[in-house]
Amino acid sequence: MRRAVPRIAAFVLLILGALLGGPSPVYAVNVEKVVSPGGIEAWLVRDPTIPIISVQFAFRGGAALDPGDKLGLARMVSGLLDEGAGNLDSKTFQRKLNDYAIHLGFDATQDYFIGRLKTLKENRDTAFDMLHIAVTSPRFDAEPVERIRNQMLAILAQKSEDPDHAAALAWSRTVFPDHPYGRPIDGTPETIAKITAADLHKFAKERLARDNLLIGVVGDITPEELAPLLDSTFGELPAHAAKDTVGDATLRGSGETVVSNRDIPQSVVVFGEAGVKRDDPDYYAAYVMNYILGGGGFSSRLTEEVREKRGLAYSVYSYLNPLEHAGLVNGGVATRNSKVKESIDLIRAEWQRMHDSGATDVEMVNAKAYLTGSFALRLDTTDKIAETLVAMQMDHLGLDYLDRRNALIEAVTKEDVDRVAKRLLDVKALTFVVVGQPEGVVSTSAPAGDARPAAAAAKPAETAAPAQSMSNPGEAGSRPPANAPAPDPQSGAKPSGDTAPAPSN
């Protein structure tokens, strides 16, 4: 019966929304703040319908804090926290996770160190205990350290084959030559080789603390059950993290075009310029504007011009990329070498058209209808809800954000969009990186460093993925995955997510 209450409330809201002609409000997800006796806070959405619990958490401060000669440190810690802790060595620790079907994993973005725990309700206490020792007493034994080091090297080598990855890295290197955002999260072979067990211990001790910790919990658990688990899991962490020394970033290389030669039939193009940070008063206006320009898939101008009218690309897109220390608007396209110039010219033209003329009334109506109506689709699994709860805390959006969010979109006017387009979209400042052999496109500046060598970004230190096996009869979709168009350069901001800047790439 507990479930009936929010569902009826949601139904009433939907009806009211329809009657008033307003947006369909997001259904009533009830977000509760749980504070443990020891003062540790978590945001909780109870869902007793399935006997599982999903926990996501993040510590502020990520790979951007890696020492310059030890790039890859945060990622390496993320690969090792579940490789032995307390009195359990790697083998024993992993075996216990596997035997209880507990999913525990960590990751690092430029801005955050992130963790996820998913468990069946029946194994709840064991799962939280495993998390507890992982974050408070990781071992960093020699065997797993060397194994994960080698996995990171294999992943670097594999990623270096991927032109999307190379383009994203080169773009970040070009615009952030003097800021940590320009460095590879995954490190380089040289920096990975330098990381010692002492570095790993130091990171865990300095970065995993109570004052930079954000927690989201979803599933079959009550506040009364959760509160003591928060203390037993995180209570032993130090009160304060070391000072976050990363400063705000200034974009360089504005308006440059960088070509990185690679013998492939299709060039991969990444572009971008300064955008808005998450707390910018124009954030929602920029969000609506980007949907119309290049965020809205088949409803976007870029897709219409580049793909639908001319068949130049399978994928063309733009997205807001709000990092902690820089706001960006990024985009990309992949097209045969002979058509790169035409595609770039079209993108520039659309950039200029939006800057000059803004949006139409019809585009405004359609954009808002999609952005408000689709919001609930992001909250359809426990993992997605937990991720959203953490993102809301990262961005200081407040416990009632889910209820307010659609009104924030609705409040954006055409004038707001026109103004923000003029403010942000400067075609002369757009920086392009092309990996491939584009015809008629030349570099305006030398590539910032070699685009080829093993580098970094998107994924955590997962097991190097063996080549796609054949038994899944190769799916081929009509278009790129809706939520994952972007070879996100460095941070992990989701392409078109307005609440979820960092949790995952």
Partner 1 sequence: MTALRLFLVSIAALAAFALAPAQAGVFNPETFRLDNGLQVVVVENHRVPVVTSMVWYKVGAADEAPGETGLAHFLEHLMFKGTDTVKPQEFSKIIAKNGGQDNAFTTHDYTAYYENVARDRLDLVLKLEADRMQNLRLTDDVVLPEREVVREERRSRVENDPNALLSEEMAATTYLNLPYRRPVIGWDHEIVQLGTDKAYAFYHTHYAPNNAILVVAGDITAAELRPMVEKYFGPVPRRDIPPRVRPKEPPHHAEKRVTLKDARVNQPQWTRSYLAPSYHEGESKYVDALEVLEQILGGDSSSRLYRALVVDEKVAAGVDADYQPTAVDLSTFTLSASPEPGVAVERVETAMDAEIAKLLETGVSEDELARAKKQLLATATYARDSMSVAARLFGMALATGGTVDEVESWPQRISAVTVQQVNEAAAAVLNRENSTTGVLLPQPAS
Site for partner 1 in 270-309 (CB under 8 A): 296-299, 304, 307-309
When asked if residue 163 is in the footprint of partner 1 (CB under 8 A), the reply is: yes
When asked if residue 338 is in the footprint of partner 1 (CB under 8 A), the reply is: no
> Is-contact 219 382, C-beta < 8 A?
yes
382-394 vs 401-410: helix axis angle to the nearest 10? Answer: 70
Among 202, 206, 314, 414, binds partner 1 (CB under 8 A): 314
Say how far apart CA 407 and CA 118 lie, in whole Å. 32
Where do we find the tokens 């990622």? 75
When asked if residue 254 is in the footprint of partner 1 (CB under 8 A), the reply is: no
**CA triple 56-155-75, angle to 5 deg:** 40
160 vs 352 by CB, closer to partner 1: 160
When asked if residue 151 is in the footprint of partner 1 (CB under 8 A), the reply is: yes
Taking the complex as a whole, the smallest distance from the CB of residue 97 to partner 1 amounts, in Å, to 6
Taking the complex as a whole, the smallest distance from the CB of residue 282 to partner 1 amounts, in Å, to 23
Among 131, 185, 195, 268, binds partner 1 (CB under 8 A): 268
When asked if residue 341 is in the footprint of partner 1 (CB under 8 A), the reply is: no
How big is the site for partner 1, counted in residues (CB under 8 A)?
Answer: 113
When asked if residue 310 is in the footprint of partner 1 (CB under 8 A), the reply is: yes
Segment contacting partner 1 by CB under 8 A, of 174-182, 240-248, 256-264, 412-420: 256-264
Q: Which of 448, 441, 428, 442 is nearest to 167 (CA)?
A: 448
28 vs 427 by CB, closer to partner 1: 28
53 vs 208 by CB, closer to partner 1: 53
Q: Which of 485, 487, 489 is nearest to 477 (CA)?
A: 485
63 vs 175 by CB, closer to partner 1: 63
List, in sequence order, every residue forming a beta bridge with 216; answer none if it has no partner. 43, 56
Residue numbers 416-435 binding partner 1 by CB under 8 A: none
309 vs 404 by CB, closer to partner 1: 309
Among 41, 129, 162, 426, binds partner 1 (CB under 8 A): 162
Site map 76..115 versus partner 1, x via CB under 8 A = --xx--xx------xx--xx-xxx-x-xxxxx--------
Say how far apart CA 209 and CA 237 lie, in whole Å. 5
Residue numbers 446-485 binding partner 1 by CB under 8 A: 454, 459-479, 481-484
- Residue 459: HSE in the Cβ half-sphere, 13 Å Cα cutoff: 18
Residue numbers 36-55 binding partner 1 by CB under 8 A: 47, 49-52
Taking the complex as a whole, the smallest distance from the CB of residue 118 to partner 1 amounts, in Å, to 7
- Residue 283: HSE in the Cβ half-sphere, 13 Å Cα cutoff: 18
Taking the complex as a whole, the smallest distance from the CB of residue 68 to partner 1 amounts, in Å, to 23
List, in sequence order, every residue forming a beta bridge with 274; answer none if it has no partner. 328
When asked if residue 261 is in the footprint of partner 1 (CB under 8 A), the reply is: no
23 vs 275 by CB, closer to partner 1: 23
Query: Residue 39 — left, alpha, or beta (φ > 0 → left; ψ -120 to 50 → alpha)?
Result: left
Segment contacting partner 1 by CB under 8 A, of 21-29, 66-74, 209-217, 345-353: 21-29
Among 37, 311, 398, 440, binds partner 1 (CB under 8 A): 311
When asked if residue 68 is in the footprint of partner 1 (CB under 8 A), the reply is: no
Taking the complex as a whole, the smallest distance from the CB of residue 54 to partner 1 amounts, in Å, to 8
When asked if residue 157 is in the footprint of partner 1 (CB under 8 A), the reply is: yes
Taking the complex as a whole, the smallest distance from the CB of residue 380 to partner 1 amounts, in Å, to 6
* Residue ranges with strand state E in 234-340: 257-261, 266-274, 316-322, 327-336
CB atoms under 10 Å from CB of 48, counted, come to 12
Taking the complex as a whole, the smallest distance from the CB of residue 277 to partner 1 amounts, in Å, to 24
Segment contacting partner 1 by CB under 8 A, of 23-31, 203-211, 237-245, 281-289: 23-31
Residue numbers 184-243 binding partner 1 by CB under 8 A: none
Amino acid found at 410: E
Burial state string for 208-223 with b = 16 or more CB within 10 A and e = fewer than 16: bbbebbbbbbbbbbee
- Stretch (H or E) spanning 33: strand 32-35
DSSP H helical ranges for 398-447? 401-410, 414-424
Q: Can you read off the two tokens belonging to residue 126?
A: 């064991």
Segment contacting partner 1 by CB under 8 A, of 152-160, 250-258, 282-290, 439-447: 152-160
Taking the complex as a whole, the smallest distance from the CB of residue 365 to partner 1 amounts, in Å, to 8
Q: Which of 292, 259, 299, 106 is nearest to 171 (CA)?
A: 259
Among 30, 150, 196, 413, binds partner 1 (CB under 8 A): 150
> Is-contact 227 37, C-beta < 8 A?
yes
Say how far apart CA 414 and CA 289 lie, in whole Å. 9
Taking the complex as a whole, the smallest distance from the CB of residue 185 to partner 1 amounts, in Å, to 13
197-207 vs 142-159: helix axis angle to the nearest 10? Answer: 90
Say how far apart CA 105 and CA 82 lie, in whole Å. 7
Say how far apart CA 377 and CA 496 lie, in whole Å. 13
> Is-contact 483 374, C-beta < 8 A?
no
Say how far apart CA 211 and CA 240 lie, in whole Å. 5
95 vs 404 by CB, closer to partner 1: 95
